[in-house]
A and B are shown apart, each in its own frame.
Chain A
C-alpha cells in the first residue's frame, strides 16, 4: 500500500483539494491587503492622493471580488454579525472603520487640518488598516482543516505582503514623481520587504515540511507538483529575487523600480492564488489508526 493520494471528488479515501475559496477570493485578499498596505506606507509622510488611492483599492477592489465570490451577495451585510467568533466578521468591521476613518484622515491631510480630530482619525485609520492587513491571515490560520494554512505564519504573511504591495506601488509613484517618498532612500524599504518575503517563504515551507502529512503534501505541490513553475517562477523568482536584483542595480531609476514593483505585485498575487490552490483536506482516517487494519 502506498498510502492515501489525491482523490478528487470520488468516493475514495484520500486528500482532497479545497475548492471553496477560488480566484475571486484570492483577488479580494490581494486588493484588501494591497490598499491597506499602500495607505500605511503613505502615512509615513502623508500625501492625500496616495492615501485616497489606498482607500479606493481596498474599498472598491476588495468588496467587488468578495461580492463576486459570495453565494448570496444581497445578504452580504450579514457577515458583520459575529465579530465575537469569526475573523471574517472582524475583518469586515475593520474595513468599515478603515474606510471611514481613512477618508476623514485623508480629508484632514488634504485640507491641512480643516477636518477636525485629524490626529484621532490617523490613529484609528492606522489601527483599522492593521486589522485589514492581517485578518485574512488570522482567518486562514484559525482553520485546522487546511494544514498548510494552520500556522501562525499566515498573519505574518498577510502583513508582509500588504507592506510589500504598498511599497511596490509607492516605489512607482515616487519614481514617476507623483508624490514625495515617505522617507529618503525609500528604495531600501523595497529591498527590505523583498528580503523579508524570501525568509517568509522559506519559513512557510519549513513549517509545512515539518507539519502534518497534509501540510507536507501542499508544500510538495508547490515545489515539485503542478504548481511548482508558478511558485518557483512567480512567488520566489519574480516576487523576491527579481526585486532584490532590480533595486540592487537601479534603486533610484524608474526602470529598476518598475521591474521591482511588477515583480513584487506579481509574486504577491501568485502567492494569494497558489496558497488556495494547494490547500488540501486530509483523509478523515489514517490506516493503522482508528478502527482500521494496521
Chain B
C-alpha cells in the first residue's frame, strides 16, 4: 500500500494559481472555500527584494490532530495515508478545524453548499461526478483528490502545475520522486514544532 505525500518546490512555484483554479474546478468548491492556496510574501529590503510563493494544502498528517479532535469519527485516515472527512458522519462541530495548526479546514454553509464554482447548479463539464458532493453544515478539506488518485491519476493541482512545483507520490517508495527530493534536498514539513508529522514537505532548490 502506498503512503501518499507531496513536495513543494519553492524555487519552482511562480504563483500562477493554476493549482488553485484546478482544485476549485475539480472539487466544485463554492465561494470562499479553498483546499489549496498559494501564499505570497515579499521578503528582503529595497533594493534586494523578491517575492516568494508558498503553496499550501492539507498536510495529511501522520499524527493528525484533526482526527484526534473529531468526536464523531467523521475524520479518518485511509490505509494510503490520506486524511478524509466522511460527510455522512460529520456533525459540523468544528473541533477538527480549531485543532488543525494549518487552518486547512473550512465549513460549508448554506446557501454555498451547492452553488459550485460559478454560482450555478451545473457541474463543470470535466467533472460531473462532483455535483452535490458537499453538504451544508459539514467541514471540508483537501483529500489529495482521492477519487483521482484511486483511478491512478495525480491530484488536479499537481496535474496542472506548469512548473512542476508540486510533486506527488509514494513516500514509502524510496525511489519515488517525493521521497528522493525529501532525502536529497532536505525536505522540511511546515510547522514541525507542532509534531503533527505532515506528509507534505517544502524544498528550496
- The chain A residues found within 8 Å of chain B, CB to CB, are 1, 4, 9, 11-13, 16, 18, 20-21, 25, 66, 69-73, 75-76, 78-82, 85-89, 92, 139, 142-146, 212, 279, 281-282, 284-285, 287, 289-293
- The chain B residues found within 8 Å of chain A, CB to CB, are 10, 32, 37-45, 50, 52, 54, 56, 65, 67-74, 89-95, 97-103, 105, 107-109, 135-139, 188-196, 202-204
B191's nearest neighbour on chain A, judged by CB, is A284
Q: How many A-B contacts if CB must be within 8 Å?
A: 157
Indicate the member of B42, B43, B44, B91 with the most A CB atoms within 10 Å: B91
B105's nearest neighbour on chain A, judged by CB, is A20
A142 to B70, CA, bound (A): 12
Indicate the member of B45, B74, B92, B109 with the most A CB atoms within 10 Å: B92
Taking a contact as CB atoms under 8 Å apart, the answer to whether A79 and B94 are in contact is no
Residues of B near A282 (CB, < 8 A) are 101, 191
Taking a contact as CB atoms under 8 Å apart, the answer to whether A291 and B98 are in contact is no
Taking a contact as CB atoms under 8 Å apart, the answer to whether B41 and A291 are in contact is no
16 sampled A-B residue pairs with Cβ under 8 A: A4-B41, A13-B54, A71-B94, A72-B92, A75-B91, A79-B71, A82-B72, A89-B71, A142-B69, A145-B65, A145-B98, A290-B188, A291-B204, A292-B43, A292-B52, A293-B44
Taking a contact as CB atoms under 8 Å apart, the answer to whether A88 and B102 are in contact is no
A71 to B92, CA, bound (A): 4
Taking a contact as CB atoms under 8 Å apart, the answer to whether B92 and A144 are in contact is no
Taking a contact as CB atoms under 8 Å apart, the answer to whether A81 and B92 are in contact is no
Taking a contact as CB atoms under 8 Å apart, the answer to whether A72 and B137 are in contact is yes
Taking a contact as CB atoms under 8 Å apart, the answer to whether A143 and B69 are in contact is yes
